[in-house]
Structure 1
């Protein structure tokens, strides 16, 4: 018989998971520089490549944003499990990094296999590898923060940002087209991930084979990542629908608007990841009751607000169609006020739902099934709405679908989350 494996066993945090406020500020700055470099490069490439080529590029990269969500399940598992472990911390770290690295390796193999085909298949294969690489980079950075080395997170992302700016300069000069540009970015990810992986001591230790630990980690990775996967999959499907109805200009517009909305969202998510280890310890056991109550309150308000706006918007669109005819909907689909208003609603609802789910995920394993079912319901609602409205409304329809999905997720979670404490499911030994 092997010794019991219990990841829910609370322990005192080793270090401060990032050397306090100063370490967290450096991480935010490093990530901000990297994200700013990527966004500025993309914005500069729009006039160089043209709307059609740029639209096809963002359609390919946007179609695989869900891959990042898959790997983020590994990161969240590390941030919640490693602080609660004692003797198995190194083994847990090694196994989680291996799962993220396997996805990146699979993406690289797919990109290599599709490269001779050329065209859209090659671009989409490379986009999948790039998304998996970004996820692995985030996992490795999180591991270094847990080991009280936040500067490695900052340096890793800052170094990659410099590489992105350099490749963006070559693309602006006409040297790199979409496929070559994405290939160069993926190559930079391979180097950045290799360096950060080399600095992880757990990867140089002899592994201990624990089947019970593997099953436990697999469950946590799947359930913790599914919410991010469905969120990203909803966005990916929007780009697929826009590409299917041949709206490259709308794809580019949606991508640019998502860059704006995701700036706030990504900053908030980064802050949550930085405080997740300490939050996981604070909300363990009976301490999770207050977190669940607060999450339920936020979800109820979000469901009412986002749902009400979605219903009002649909009513206004139906009224405009009956009064002005079908052609009026096409004009509304690209109207700046309509797009801006829905983007603002989507940003606010997204932040509320993400924080509520964050609180729930850091309480216990019992609520993970609730967040999973709500995430699936949200994906179904987003896809169903997109299939109905995107063909006519274009960009406005895409953001309306996102708002409907967020409203459904908040409503399902609020309905299924009981106000009294949830009994935790015992973790396997």
Structure 2
């Protein structure tokens, strides 16, 4: 896998972004088209089923993909590849096993929800598998797979034009497309898997890494869900709609940046192996400091503007821009932090918990008081508090590592610097 450590060239990155962009456009746009094609009851059944299990994609994909990108490029890490394939495939297989007998019984709400679970877990499975293909030096497989998913949504819309197509039938088509893509991706990996398997301690270390690395995205999604729940209690439809529109812009741009960081993650691991943990702690500290230096004064200015009752249509775009800047800088710091060692991953997960609690506490007051801008102010407060909490910890770890006293040395996972091989 050493060849995969080299970052992809600009053309490859553009192809990868085009594949993911096509998928995002198809998945978001299909909902709008189906809303126009179906009656309200049919679309509500589809939207409720898919919306209620979207978190499964994050659960299946986020931690395992990030852990694979962190551990497999390390010396001896290729032995863990089979484990990450299993972590990707098992949830999808379980959801399929639940859905198939329900689908055979006919159209029922349970079958619809099971199909949605199979769909979202299957997308998560494909996300992990294309990450493994990228590590093997086949990045364009990623673009092809997600372009295929986009085509699946297009095919579903083509069928939905015909009268009488139900939500269950549309979901069945999507699950079939995802299943075919997952099988093709799996076929390109299984015959190349290393024959030597890691020991029990290595497997447990990798599973622990996957669990820790999945906390951040899951709690971030939970934060947004919590804010929507707070908007529901206010009954302010205009503020809720504006928050949704602003969040779509933020979500698209932040997802794009996060994907670019995933592409570069193996290269970051290679840099850390060359430079050592002290350099990683220092870089993470500088990035967190930059987020605070940029974010704190601008967040204070945003708070003053909220108090002065500046219109939300003016403050909204400014709040989105500030949230994106703080989020992007902080996410880059976490990329470094999470790939240093197990300690870095633990602190990243702890920071995500702190962030969630701050968003919940500040959102409780800011959403009723400031509407959509208040919701984004709560997200910004969570990001800045996390950055402040982690910066002091990172600074201490950088000093300890620089003095040769890093507590990570000799106590990482078996494929980390200083770990047992």
Q: For this structure pair, what is the TM-score category when the shorter chain's length is used for normalisation?
A: 0.7 to 0.9
- TM-score normalised according to structure 2 size: 0.80
Q: Name structure 1 gaps, 5 residues minimum.
A: 1-11, 321-328
CA distance in 1, matches of 2:4, 2:124: 25
Q: 1:420 to 1:375 in 2, by over 3 A?
A: same
Identify the residue that residue 98 of structure 1 maps to in structure 2: 86
Q: 1:58 to 1:399 in 2, by over 3 A?
A: farther
- TM-score normalised according to structure 1 size: 0.79
Q: 1:48 to 1:345 in 2, by over 3 A?
A: farther
Q: 1:113 to 1:231 in 2, by over 3 A?
A: farther
- CA drift of 1:410 comes to 1.4
**Residues 1:259 and 2:248 are matched in the alignment:** yes
1:386 maps to which of 350, 356, 363? 363
Deviations 1:25-77 (A, max 9, x none): 43232222222322333454565569999899767656655443332111111
Identify the residue that residue 134 of structure 1 maps to in structure 2: 123
CA contact (8 A) 2:355 2:385 kept: yes
Deviations 1:232-273 (A, max 9, x none): 222233334445666777666544433322222222222221
CA root-mean-square deviation: 3.7
Identify the residue that residue 289 of structure 2 maps to in structure 1: 300
Q: After superposition, where does 1:14-29 map in structure 2 within 5 Å?
A: 14=3, 20-29=9-18
- CA drift of 1:188 comes to 2.6
**Residues 1:197 and 2:186 are matched in the alignment:** yes
Deviations 1:357-395 (A, max 9, x none): 112222233222221111110011112223333356543
Q: 1:259 to 1:302 in 2, by over 3 A?
A: same
Count residues with an aligned counterpart. Answer: 403
Identify the residue that residue 404 of structure 1 maps to in structure 2: 381
Identify the residue that residue 339 of structure 2 maps to in structure 1: 362
CA contact (8 A) 2:4 2:266 kept: no
CA contact (8 A) 1:74 1:100 kept: yes
Identify the residue that residue 420 of structure 1 maps to in structure 2: 399
Q: After superposition, where does 1:127-276 map in structure 2 within 5 Å?
A: 127-171=116-160, 181-182=170-171, 184-201=173-190, 208=197, 210-243=199-232, 253-276=242-265
Q: Name structure 2 gaps, 5 residues minimum.
A: 415-419
Query: Which is further off, 206-215 or 161-170?
Result: 206-215
CA distance in 1, matches of 2:45, 2:388: 35
- CA drift of 1:297 comes to 2.3
- CA drift of 1:282 comes to 1.0
Identify the residue that residue 74 of structure 2 maps to in structure 1: 84
CA distance in 2, matches of 1:368, 1:203: 29
Deviations 1:304-331 (A, max 9, x none): 44344444444544554xxxxxxxx9xx
CA distance in 2, matches of 1:179, 1:381: 39
* Larger relative contact order (CA 8 Å, sep ≥ 6): 1
**Residues 1:376 and 2:353 are matched in the alignment:** yes
Q: SS state of the match for residue 73, structure 2?
A: helix
CA distance in 1, matches of 2:339, 2:201: 21
Identify the residue that residue 417 of structure 2 maps to in structure 1: none
CA distance in 1, matches of 2:150, 2:366: 37
CA distance in 2, matches of 1:339, 1:52: 33
Deviations 1:56-104 (A, max 9, x none): 9767656655443332111111112111133x61x41111121122233
CA contact (8 A) 2:26 2:154 kept: yes
